């Protein structure tokens, strides 16, 4: 298996990407190979820092351009045909690699994936999923940022994609799917979720458990949390910052009290870096998006997630699931 990794994406590229890739490969002795996509000279310079790097499982695929965070995605992917993102997605489309990972511009990764890989039949718009920590483990929330102003039937598609992800990637049988809402009663919510509720109830092969309130997420009420990209994105970013606020407050207090406590260990389960990127679901290929501020550990974990997605044949399963039209869907 070959996984393409955009080496130029993160805020500290290519150092973080190279370190993450080397770490991932040293971790595993299977057939996974990583293809670093980006400026050959800079990647080689970074690789030189790791004399023990398994070079037989590391390749470099040159790409001369980089799409910057501030660039308008649509324009950037059209103009920078030799950017690490466009080249990486093209490698995936051509079947030369089995997955693509990038910590670069989310918009550009999504745009290139959508244009080049296209969505699987039955998916209008590909959602981004995020595994958020709960008391019970993990819950896949989707969409967390790609699609604002979703239609009810698109939320049903998110539910189906998320359900397959939870089965294949989180190992959950018959995953509980919840609809993010302001109350648990079916008559609660805005127009879109009200209609989505009805559609989800009628969707076959889906364990829809009803509405889930904001306070029930971390309690682990569901395995898959469906929301439009606006709410999902606000929520995810808020989560990260609240965890940061609280641990910051605590760190100060512990220092003042002279108490030794390994906060990093305690809160490891809340650590975004430990989670390994956010999958872009519903496109014809395994694509993982990482934070621009990702540390090497996040890249390493994202490689693990990508490899597992390929091994479990996640995209195939999603294609099969979506091929059964959702009853009540307003799609032709």
Note the residues at the interface with a copy of itself (CB under 8 A).
134-135, 145, 148-149, 180-182, 189-191, 193, 213-219, 227-231, 233-250, 253-254, 257, 259, 261, 266-267, 270
Task: Tell me the closest approach of the beta carbon of residue 322 to a copy of itself, in angstroms.
Answer: 25
Which CB sits closer to a copy of itself, 63 or 140? 140
Strand ranges across the sheet with 99-102 = 58-62, 33-38, 2-6, 99-102, 286-289, 278-280
Task: Tell me the closest approach of the beta carbon of residue 47 to a copy of itself, in angstroms.
Answer: 33
Task: Tell me the closest approach of the beta carbon of residue 253 to a copy of itself, in angstroms.
Answer: 5
Which CB sits closer to a copy of itself, 9 or 133? 133
Task: Tell me the closest approach of the beta carbon of residue 264 to a copy of itself, in angstroms.
Answer: 12
d(Cα 139, Cα 116) in Å, to the nearest integer?
29
Which CB sits closer to a copy of itself, 21 or 224? 224
Please name the residue ranges forming H helices in the chain: 15-27, 40-47, 73-79, 84-93, 106-112, 152-169, 191-202, 229-257, 263-266, 296-311, 314-323
Which CB sits closer to a copy of itself, 7 or 235? 235
Task: Tell me the closest approach of the beta carbon of residue 243 to a copy of itself, in angstroms.
Answer: 7
Please name the residue ranges forming H helices in 116-151: none
Residues 71 and 108 sit within 8 Å (Cβ to Cβ): yes
Measured CA distances, 102 to 11, 98, 301 (Å): 11, 14, 13
Which CB sits closer to a copy of itself, 57 or 138? 138
């Amino acid at each position: 298996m070959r996984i393409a990794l955009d080496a130029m994406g993160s805020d500290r590229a290519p150092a973080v990407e190279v370190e993450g890739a080397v770490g991932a490969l040293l971790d595993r002795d299977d057939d996974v190979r990583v293809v670093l996509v980006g400026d050959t000279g800079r990647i080689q310079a970074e690789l030189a820092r790791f004399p023990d790097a398994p070079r037989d499982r590391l390749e470099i695929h040159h790409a001369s351009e980089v799409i910057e965070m501030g660039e308008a995605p649509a324009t950037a992917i059209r103009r920078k045909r030799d950017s690490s993102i466009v080249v990486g997605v093209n490698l995936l489309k051509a079947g030369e690699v089995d997955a693509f990972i990038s910590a670069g511009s989310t918009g550009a990764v999504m745009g290139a994936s959508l244009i080049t890989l296209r969505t699987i039949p039955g998916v209008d718009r590909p959602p981004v999923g995020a595994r958020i920590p709960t008391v019970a483990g993990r819950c896949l929330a989707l969409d967390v940022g790609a699609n604002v102003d979703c239609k009810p039937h698109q939320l049903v598609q998110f539910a189906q994609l998320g359900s397959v992800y939870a089965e294949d990637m989180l190992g959950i049988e018959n995953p509980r799917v919840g609809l993010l809402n302001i109350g648990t009663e079916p008559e609660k919510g805005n127009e879109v979720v009200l209609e989505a509720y009805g559609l989800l109830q009628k969707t076959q092969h889906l364990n829809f458990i009803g509405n889930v309130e904001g306070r029930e997420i971390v309690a682990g009420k569901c395995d898959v949390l469906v929301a439009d990209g606006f709410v999902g994105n606000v929520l995810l970013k808020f989560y990260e910052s609240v965890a940061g606020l609280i641990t910051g407050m605590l760190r100060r207090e512990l220092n003042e009290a002279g108490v030794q406590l390994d906060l990093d260990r305690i809160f490891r389960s809340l650590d975004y870096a430990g989670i390994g990127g956010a999958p872009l679901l519903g496109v014809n290929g395994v694509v993982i998006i990482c934070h621009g501020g990702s540390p090497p550990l996040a890249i390493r974990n994202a490689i693990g997630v990508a490899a597992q997605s390929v091994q479990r044949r996640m995209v195939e399963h999603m294609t099969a699931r979506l091929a059964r039209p959702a009853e009540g869907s307003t799609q032709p």
